[in-house]
Amino acid sequence: MIELRDITADNWEAVANLKVAGDQQSFVAPNVYSIAESKFYPGVEIKAIHAGETLVGFIMWGPDPVHNPPEMWIWRFMIAAEHQGNGYGRAAMQAALDHLRAQPGVDAVFLSFEPDNTGADRLYTSLGFRRTGRVEYGEIVVKLEF
């Protein structure tokens, strides 16, 4: 059972200590960086991904300040290396999308990934994300329309 929990004084260090595999480090910023960044952008939310009582990952979403009109983006997403391949990533992304779909005024969600991140590409495509043709900061931008 996957749950998205708030990040508080009690669990932020555990979230900051979650790591992806060595060869995945270029795919996502360290969680401690993302937690810090989230404090400075209105509307950005950070969540700990739990499988039952076990902390397994981190996700961050919110309006992207760069685009006009504003777009809702998944800013960061990771499952710790030792917990990957168990379906947690798919379930957590689905939970985040369900949450965003229920928000008034949100009719699409964007995210981007490195061109060599084939695992992420496959996951997002299977969830319904489609390529926009945009490349930003060297990453492929995809969009899910609700």
Q: Indicate whether 119 belongs to the interface with ligand COA (CB under 6 A).
A: yes
Q: Which residues contact 117 (CB under 8 A, 6 or more apart)?
A: 24, 27
Q: Could you say which residues in the range 123-142 bind ligand COA, by CB under 6 A?
A: 123, 126
Q: Which residues contact 13 (CB under 8 A, 6 or more apart)?
A: none
Q: Indicate whether 87 belongs to the interface with ligand COA (CB under 6 A).
A: yes
Three-class secondary structure of residue 7 per DSSP: coil
Distance (Å, rounded) from C-alpha 60 to C-alpha 5? 12
| Region near ligand COA per CB under 6 A, out of 37-45, 60-68, 72-80, 99-107 | 72-80
Q: Indicate whether 78 belongs to the interface with ligand COA (CB under 6 A).
A: yes
The residues binding ligand COA (CB under 6 A) are 20, 24, 27-28, 77-79, 84-90, 113, 117-120, 122-123, 126
